[in-house]
Structure 1
Amino acid sequence: MPKSRTRSTATAAPAGTRSTTVGFGRLLLRNKLGMVGLGVIAFWTLGSIFIGVLSPYGASETAAGALLAPPSLDHLFGTDNFGRDLLTRVFAGGQLSLWTGLIAVGISMAIGVPLGGIAGYAGGALGSVIMRVMDVLLAFPSLVLAMAVAAALGPGTSSAMIAVGIVGIPEFARITYGQTISLKQREFVEAGRALGLSSATILTRHIVPNALAPIVVRATLGMGYAILTAAALSFIGLGAQPPTAEWGVMISDGRGYIISGEWWLTFFPGLAIATSILGFNLLGDALRDVLDPRLRTTA
């Protein structure tokens, strides 16, 4: 009998974890707007991965006989001033834009979450110094700060990733700081202290995992902002450089042709930016509703 009780106790936690995960999955699937957002993200992600196989044109392949061709059956998005197929370039640019957003958000989380956790848990002078630095960064308009960082690092995709990542640090720091302040007085944290666990262990194993819900939501919403800011940096020449297939670069290249009627040069890259941001925003809102019990609705 004791062996049987031990065996059932050992399997209870994984089963509960699985049931919780399944429950979150079902709630997310019921959120129609969240599924629309996920579908849009999947469309651009899969399209950017497989465009090299599916498209008969290369992203940098030029055709002298098809300069500034309007959308047609041969070129669904038209061609640019070098005769390059715009559909291929838009999807190829999606790969770079999505990677830029992902890496930028990763930088923001990797720095902002530990800083916010340390500031909230340590408090005192150390916490005040960290959060005042975050306040200084927040005092600058985000695009202006990103431009300053990118200009200091020099034009390039890597500079855009780092610049956008630095701009996002204060947001993650403040979210983690608030969550840590709320959680560090909870019973399970007090129990950890009583057991002699170090502050680093309490932070990494108990506080940060319990603060992940708003961090994940912020990361999802931050992807849209990162894509937009990176495209803006490329548009003004501080991000990706021509002839790289990138949404901001393509809009910058096509802006001189708007007046003469070649609208497709800027419309389709702009549409890609707008829909990808919409997709991440819808998914972020859905995750917020699912992860926050106060916002859940019963079906």
Structure 2
Amino acid sequence: MTQLKLRSPKLFRSLERPSLSRQMMAIGLLITLVFVTVAIFAPLMQSWGWIQDPIESLTNPIHQPPSAEHWFGTSRQGYDIFSRTLFGTQAALQVVILATVLSVLVGVPLGMVSGYLGGRLDRLLVFLMDAVYTLPGLLLSVTLAFVVGRGVINAAIALSIAYVPQYYRVVRNHTVSVKTELFIEAAQAMGASTWVVLSRYLFLNVIQSVPVLFTLNAADAALTLGSLGFLGLGLPDQTPEWGQDLRQALDALPTGIWWTALFPGLALTSLVVGLSLLGEGLNEFVNPLLRREE
């Protein structure tokens, strides 16, 4: 006798077996939260005496491998690598968050105004943004870093300019498609001002992709900041920053001193992977065209 196989409702099946997008989001969010926690508590750990000053040069020992006293070893400059790796998280997140927030604050309003008003302003902004967008992001950031100089704010500005066109293009395209909807035409017929239409009716309908773009740009910004630090264009000297530590560790690698480059490199890679997983998982979760039947 054939037995009927009962299937649980789709909602409960999705809860029993999480989708790939949810798994990616969960792993990426967990990794990101670990780095955020480290960035918050690193100064407290130093004040409690749990870790050493990241910019205090130890006279002895130098180039000590990982041990119970120095978990990640020491560098040629006498720095405790564990302490610098933890504080490097704080520097990376400061620049990354500031750069992405600045690009959102500039790119989203420009995209909404350009797409809604159209005309010469729209054509001019499209031309300028396309010109910036065609430039390689790292090359543009390196050039801007030469101009604005080193520092947290300067590095964030150099990074953010490369991301503004991405937010502009995405938001503008959404605005152009949404502004012809009936509810927008009804608001215009009732005499709603441009500001009211943009803020009340358009804004929430054109920013669906901004969180996804934010996390992916944050991952790219972390990697680009590491590249700037490796080239000596990121933060000031002696600042705990992963790219700068990798540059200082480059000469020690041929002599078998591997730990000076391993731990900053792992930290940078882990943060980039975490933010990338979070962005890709969020993209698949919010974009109905990418959802797959479980």
Structure 1: gaps spanning 5 or more residues: 1-26
State yes or no: 1:58 paired with 2:49.
Answer: no
Q: How far apart, CA to CA, are the structure 2 residues paired with 1:192 and 1:296?
A: 33
Structure 2 length as normaliser, TM-score?
Answer: 0.88
- Given candidates 100, 112, 128, the residue that maps to 2:123 is 128
1:242 aligned partner, one-letter code: D
- Given candidates 242, 245, 259, the residue that maps to 1:247 is 242
Q: How far apart, CA to CA, are the structure 1 residues paired with 2:184 and 2:231?
A: 48
* Alignment check: 8 A CA contact 1:33 1:282 kept: yes
Q: How far apart, CA to CA, are the structure 2 residues paired with 1:65 and 1:272?
A: 25
Alpha-carbon displacement from aligned partner over 1:148-192 (angstroms, at most 9, x marks no partner): 111111233322110001111111100111111111111221121
Q: Which residue of 2 aligns with 1:44?
A: 35
Structure 1 length as normaliser, TM-score?
Answer: 0.86
Query: 1:205-284 counterparts in 2 under 5 A?
Result: 205-284=200-279
Structure 2: gaps spanning 5 or more residues: 1-17
Other structure's SS at 1:113 match: helix
What is the Cα deviation at residue 290 of structure 1?
2.3
Other structure's SS at 2:254 match: coil
Query: Percent identity over the alignment?
Result: 32
- In the superposition, relative to structure 1, how do residues 97 and 251 fare at CA in structure 2: closer, same or farther (>3 Å)? same
2:29 aligned partner, one-letter code: L
- In the superposition, relative to structure 1, how do residues 156 and 56 fare at CA in structure 2: closer, same or farther (>3 Å)? closer
Other structure's SS at 2:208 match: helix
* Alignment check: 8 A CA contact 2:21 2:282 kept: no
Question: Please, what is the CA RMSD of the aligned residues?
Answer: 2.0
Runs of 4 or more above 6 Å deviation: 27-30
State yes or no: 1:32 paired with 2:23.
Answer: yes
Aligned residues: 275
Q: Which residue of 2 aligns with 1:171?
A: 166
Q: Which residue of 2 aligns with 1:139?
A: 134
* Alignment check: 8 A CA contact 1:29 1:35 kept: no
2:27 aligned partner, one-letter code: V
Structure having the higher helix fraction is 1
Other structure's SS at 1:238 match: coil
1:52 aligned partner, one-letter code: P
State yes or no: 1:91 paired with 2:92.
Answer: no
- Given candidates 95, 99, 105, the residue that maps to 1:110 is 105
Q: How far apart, CA to CA, are the structure 1 residues paired with 2:263 and 2:146?
A: 28
* Alignment check: 8 A CA contact 2:108 2:171 kept: yes
Query: 1:61-80 counterparts in 2 under 5 A?
Result: 61-80=56-75
2:138 aligned partner, one-letter code: L
Alpha-carbon displacement from aligned partner over 1:47-90 (angstroms, at most 9, x marks no partner): 12212333332212332222111112222211111322111111
1:43 aligned partner, one-letter code: V
* Alignment check: 8 A CA contact 1:28 1:287 kept: no
- In the superposition, relative to structure 1, how do residues 185 and 28 fare at CA in structure 2: closer, same or farther (>3 Å)? farther
1:158 aligned partner, one-letter code: I
2:102 aligned partner, one-letter code: I
Q: How far apart, CA to CA, are the structure 2 residues paired with 1:156 and 1:237?
A: 11
What is the Cα deviation at residue 224 of structure 1?
0.6
Q: How far apart, CA to CA, are the structure 1 residues paired with 2:152 and 2:255?
A: 30
Q: How far apart, CA to CA, are the structure 2 residues paired with 1:72 and 1:28?
A: 41
